[in-house]
Structure 1
């Protein structure tokens, strides 16, 4: 494999085509800036001809002065091409269907007509001084000889780079390798690939294309996009860096930060076991694993990829599979020291809790340790006094929270999309001047039935240094359970901060 690959990000175009996702202009601009910070080479800012709002947004991104190239998408139609050119983009990405099934049933053009339209579009773009990428849409289901004929024709017309899209995600990795190798033998301009994830192998197909000679890979943050999405940028980049020894311009320490931003704006949540950037990507619970990792991290981690490389942190999780080393390390992080007998008893009680199907939070471990050691190990820096929530079909949910922080009384109000969101926002605002924390994870589960069900809320919070603490609370009132769990988690986080300050 060549030692350097470029990354084309289409989060703002194909990513926004994820069903249910609609980004505001401000969000798209912020994502564009973040992708520039990340080190992406090209971003596809949108499809300007689709609406006046989209055109204005692409134009705003193109005028932002970013280091990367800004690209606009266009069919091989003059109005599409001119809409991109009017936005002053660096590159125009033009496409037309070349497979028989799409050509006959969607655009209803002959092979000769498609070839002519492709060449005319490339010439039009180059006549206006922009870089040009040409995509043979549905390339992986196109007759190979015709596909190569089209690519050779657009190269002759001045195209800068060709894209090979697996539009409906039907290629196997070995077939993708052979296709790109064949194309590479016939063209002299760079090859870019765009793989869809319908069978869960978009990343594998992208990497095989890179092995075969593709110099650029199209990705999206968190793999979002049409249907099952696109190749996940973090997975592609870290595979290139760590497995293949190739280079990109990506600043990998911002991968997690970028993933979280896109997750927040799109509402498409990453599963905990998402590679590279998921909450569990560097988390360990099994006693065998945690023992090994605490001795030498690459015993049960890849080694060629560390959490720090992607902006992550390693987590030791206490649960039913935990061993003494994991519990001891977690207690030490809380500033709690035990002897062997006490440690064994704490471990036994933690396993009893976990064997009942309950997730073990930091607050549980803290409470068990306090019980076993016979003393209160923590301090309640924040003590809730009262809170109230106003909501209704004509009222924006608003919460007011009053508490003491240390020896000072504090009060704050905020609004949200619902009563729980409003309450959590109010608590975050109330403690903002004291410490910076954010809710990292929120889970709600009904543990009894009926309209008066007892709800159990689990909340994880994170401080500005990346330290995480979690707590649970149960109540028939979801807002009450939420605020109790949140304050418990924050108090634990503050206790741990004090402990670190004493070290």
Structure 2
């Protein structure tokens, strides 16, 4: 059994442009705990007052996971961690000569003493201590082992080898951890970065070499090229190496999307395990194989990780794929309608477009001459913005539910008038559908202050994604129209 330390809320939050408030940190922590993560690195208590509030919110929840804070080998860091009521600290000490000489401006002896003093201080205050060697994979291995051995002597519960700039290779990783694990009496952890795209492979090799714990992030987010991806490492361990963890794999997709939404970092479509294309198929020969046996082109069932199979229609699709797709959707077409829909799909495919489920429903409606009911209509929109005025939008929507028609009225603020208007729409619809805005783009059509603008939005509801464009002279109206159209398509 391999333990998982999730550092999404610390190393992951250090992704450029990402900053979580305490409520968002708590929401992610609860999801991680429900996922089955053994240890949650909730942040770095020394960072700020807001960071400490977030960590305290997490430690007050009584989660099953061990909660720790990142600290340097300094008593002030440990004191702030204690203030947050964490179970332990991830105590990180630079160990490479590059870091010791140029960052710390100390000697090895001084660095070693600071590390041991910090470990003793943390243990004296009742904390679990995981002692990490920063930039360990560029350090003198003998010095690293000396630090670990002496750290264990003064109470360190675990030690961790950090591949801080991602320079390990799978071969070196296996050899390094085999030696360290053979000489250290406590569990050894691995912490890999993805600078050369090998974080997952290096983590797996470290576990083969004897590591009993690995540091991972959801979606592989993190500084620079990111950290080892939790979903990739866990599924490779489970499926390829028959090594178990406590992770509930069927929740991986859900947690991935929560982190993506709160950190505002889209998951690449081709991301392993949790990407929207991870179980997507378009080529006719692939779809034909899937119809006969899903295992022909899928290494695992998508449901195992909470994802789903997607049959993509485009220029590579055959009629069998369209028929299979229609059967899955429970749609019956006449022979003439089928041929018209297929022709439309091929024509759009030649233009470089793939056909989503929402697109296919739209094509079917057009072929049949049907106009889908707009369940949500905009009745009124008022936006106030100006100098020294926080932009605020009030909106009134008419929602045609299954049994009755109701008015949805909401007001919301934003960083600008467009943001306020879209926030108001989302707030009004929160009780109707959980729809998230994944992308928003604006471009000018023409020149001058009265030029048209084209707004493109990408919206998601569960696994369904739709992209809509709207052109108007008014950027607020264009944005609202695009969002409303997308919401109606999804609903």
Note if 1:93 corresponds to 2:80: no
TM-score normalised according to structure 1 size: 0.87
Equivalent residues in 2 for 1:197-216, closer than 5 Å: 197-216=194-213
Determine the C-alpha separation between the residues in 2 that align with 1:227 and 1:264. 20
For 2:355 and 2:457, locate their aligned partners in 1 and report how far apart those are by CA, in whole Å. Answer: 10
* Closer/same/farther in 2, CA of residues 362 and 126 from structure 1, 3 Å limit: closer
2:282 and 2:418 map into 1 onto residues whose CA distance is 30
Once the two structures are overlaid, the 10-residue window that deviates more, 76-85 or 11-20, is: 76-85
Q: Distance in 2 between matches of 1:350 and 1:386?
A: 37
Structure 2: how far apart are the matches of 1:212 and 1:397?
57
Task: Give SS of 1:50's match.
Answer: coil
Partner of 2:105: 108
Q: Tell me how far apart the structure 2 counterparts of residues 59 and 332 of structure 1 sit (CA, whole Å).
A: 51
**Which residues of 2 match residues 122-141 of structure 1 at below 5 A?**
122-141=119-138
Residue 249 of structure 1: aligned partner:
246
Does residue 1:185 correspond to 2:182, yes or no? yes
Distance 1:7 1:15 in 2: 15
Residue deviations 1:184-203, cap 9 Å, x none? 12112110011111112111
The answer to which of 400-409 and 57-66 deviates more is 400-409
Check if 1:472 corresponds to 2:468. Answer: yes
Deviation at 1:289, TM superposition (A): 2.2
Per mean C-alpha deviation after superposition, the further-off stretch among 424-433 and 180-189 is 424-433
Correspondence 1:354 to 2:353: no
- Whether the 8 Å contact between 2:383 and 2:394 is mirrored in structure 1 is yes
| Partner deviation per Cα, 1:269-306 (whole Å, 9 max, x = no partner) | 22222222222222222222223223322221112xx2
CA-to-partner distance for each residue in 1:104-148, whole Å, 9 max, x for gaps? 122122222222332222222222222211112211011122222
Q: 1:90 to 1:413 in 2, by over 3 A?
A: closer
Taking the aligned partners of 1:275 and 1:447, their CA distance within structure 2 comes to 36
Residue of structure 1 equivalent to 2:67:
70
Alpha carbons 2:391, 2:420 under 8 Å: kept: no
C-alpha change, 1:460 and 1:292, in structure 2 (3 Å) is farther
* TM-score normalised over the length of structure 2: 0.88
1:323 is aligned to 318
RMSD value, Cα:
2.8
Task: Provide structure 1 residue ranges, at least 5 long, that are not aligned to the other structure.
Answer: 495-503
Q: How many residues align?
A: 484
Q: Deviations over 1:27-55 (max 9, x none)?
A: 22222222111111111122223334434
8 Å Cα contact 2:453-2:478 kept in structure 1: no
Secondary structure of the 2:361 match is helix
Q: 1:500: which partner in 2?
A: none
Aligned 8 A contact 1:402 1:411 in 2: yes
Per mean C-alpha deviation after superposition, the further-off stretch among 183-192 and 359-368 is 359-368
Q: Aligned partners of 1:425 and 1:77: how far apart in 2? A: 43
* SS of structure 2 residue aligned to 1:49: coil
Q: Deviations over 1:308-350 (max 9, x none)?
A: 1222222222222222233234434554312445323321222
| CA distance in 2: counterparts of 1:234 and 1:15, whole angstroms | 14
Higher mean displacement: 147-156 or 338-347 = 338-347
Cα contact 1:384–1:404 (8 A) shared by 2: no
* Equivalent residues in 2 for 1:60-459, closer than 5 Å: 60-303=57-300, 306-373=301-368, 375-376=369-370, 378-384=372-378, 387=381, 389-392=383-386, 394-403=389-398, 405=400, 408=405, 410-415=407-412, 416-430=414-428, 435-439=432-436, 441-442=438-439, 444=441, 446=443, 450=447, 452-453=451-452, 455=454, 457-459=456-458
Q: Do 2:269 and 2:275's aligned partners in 1 also have CA atoms closer than 8 Å?
A: yes
Once residues 366 and 429 of structure 1 are traced to their aligned partners in structure 2, the CA distance between those partners, rounded to angstroms, is 27
CA distance in 2, matches of 1:403, 1:64: 39
Distance (whole Å) between structure 2 residues aligned to residue 297 and residue 128 of structure 1: 55
Q: Distance in 2 between matches of 1:325 and 1:482?
A: 38
Counterpart secondary structure, 2:143: helix
Partner SS for 1:272: coil
- The answer on whether the counterparts of 1:363 and 1:488 sit within 8 Å (CA) in structure 2 is no
> Cα distance 1:55–1:346, how it changes in 2: closer, same or farther (>3 A)?
closer
Matches of 1:92 and 1:364, distance apart in 2: 50
